[in-house]
Structure formats: C-alpha cells, structure tokens
Structure 1
Amino acid sequence: MPVPLAPYPTPSAPYTPPSNAGAQSQLVCSGCRNLLLYPVGATSVCCAVCNAVTAVPPPGTEMAQLVCGGCHTLLMYIRGATSVQCSCCHTVNLALEANQVAHVNCGNCRMLLMYQYGARSVKCAVCNFVTSVGVPTSTTEQKFNN
C-alpha cells in the first residue's frame, strides 16, 4: 500500500529585498575614534572594540570629515559647522567648506596640506616645515620683491 505524500506548499512570491538592503554608512566611534560601519536605518551603533554606543545622526544629515591638526585623529562632523573640537586632544579645528580651501604639497616632506584661501604660508603638522603658498601675480612683482 503506497504511503500518501503530504502536498508540497505553494511557493510564495520571491523575496525582493528593499533597495537599500545591505547599504552601509559610516561614523566615528564616540569612544575609541575607530571608523564604524553600520546598516542604513540604524539609530545607534555599538563599537566592537570599546563597546561605546554612538548615536547615528538623523537621516538626511550631511556629514563631513577632517583630520585633527593636534593629534591627526579622523573627526566627523555635521556639514556646515565652522569648527570641530577633537574629543581626544581637545584641539579646536577650523572646518572649512571645500570651496574655501586649497591644497599644496609640503616643501619638505611632500605631505599633502590643506589651507585656507588667501593664506601666504602653511605649516606642515608632520615635519613643521613652513611652505609658502602666496605666489606673486607677475614676474615684475617677483623681481621687485627680491
């Protein structure tokens, strides 16, 4: 006598993940300053290194980042802020928009330096060399200033 087989369930519609499934964002840990990756939509992130819980900024908040001039720690801040205080060394860093800054390589160690437009020189935070960035507007001006 054959054994009756249970009917197979009807397969449901295939699972379609949301368009942002697997999407990640990043922020800096409020405890140890490590860069944390987290799934989009999370409200807070627990650091696996130091167990500090860092709040995620509200959706739509544009973030920017800079390197602290005092201790070289990566800092993240809300775009539009004019200054950012480092939580490690307490240095207050000037936060400039991309159109307010320029770049030059250090005249000694070749490190890429960022400086505010209009500055005549910039001091390298790595080797302390002062690189001149104020270029005369003409060769005549350069001759008279030598």
Structure 2
Amino acid sequence: MPVPLAPYPPPPPYTPPPNGAQSQVVCSGCRNLLLYPVGATSVCCAVCNAVTTVPPPEMAQLVCGGCHTLLMFIRGATNVQCSCCHTVNLALEANQVAHVNCGNCEMLLRYQYGARSVKCAICSFVTSVGTSTITTSEQKFST
C-alpha cells in the first residue's frame, strides 16, 4: 500500500526588486529579447519555454583607502563600503577624473582615472598615483 506524501508548502511568491530595475538577455532558444528583474539567475521565455541563464554581473576591484584591503564590487557602482574598516571608497570608471597632491610642491593635481602617474605643471615633478591614493571627489569629463 503506497504511503501518502505530505504536501510541500508552496514556494514564496515572487517579489520584484523594490526599485523595479530590469535588465535584458537574449533567449537561448528563439533569440527573442527577454526582460528580467535585476538579481534573477535565470529567465524562462514565454514564447518557446527555454530557460536562459542570466550572466553574472561584471565585477571590478579597488584597494580600500582606509585599510588597503582588496574590494570586489559590481561594475558601475559609484561608492564601495569596505566590510573591514567601513570606509566608503569612490569607485571611479573611465572618463572620470581624480585628484592627488603633488609629491613635491603639494599642488592639487587633477588626472584621468586609470593614469599611473601625473606630472605637475608647476614644478614638473612626476607623482605616482593609483586607486588606493584617491581620497577626494570625482567629476565626469564634459564631452
């Protein structure tokens, strides 16, 4: 005689992200463009029922300005808080500028993100820079 199985509780209802953010992916079956909520790991196509895996978000790295711990974050973030020392770090991308004081005359210098060094226009001293030395605000280049 078969033993009756107790019913499993239904899965919790889907709740979209609070800001309603969505992203897009191409269906692996019919190649239609599918919309899905940010954070989903897969999406089922309503046309062909194919399940398409959502690629993980692109990651970036920076060195914390407070404790020098290597931090990973989702590319596109503007600020990253360190889980060790709780310092809020600026996450600069291409076409942004940062500031550093000249290593010789202390003049405030502005340079494009990604540069390895910057030459002072006053004293011609070359100051090495990196993401760990960025402590001031950022500005977008106007195009």
How would you bin the TM-score normalised by the shorter chain? Answer: 0.3 to 0.5
TM-score, normalised to structure 1's length?
0.34
> Larger relative contact order (C-alpha < 8 A, sep ≥ 6)?
2
TM-score, normalised to structure 2's length?
0.34
More helix by share: 1
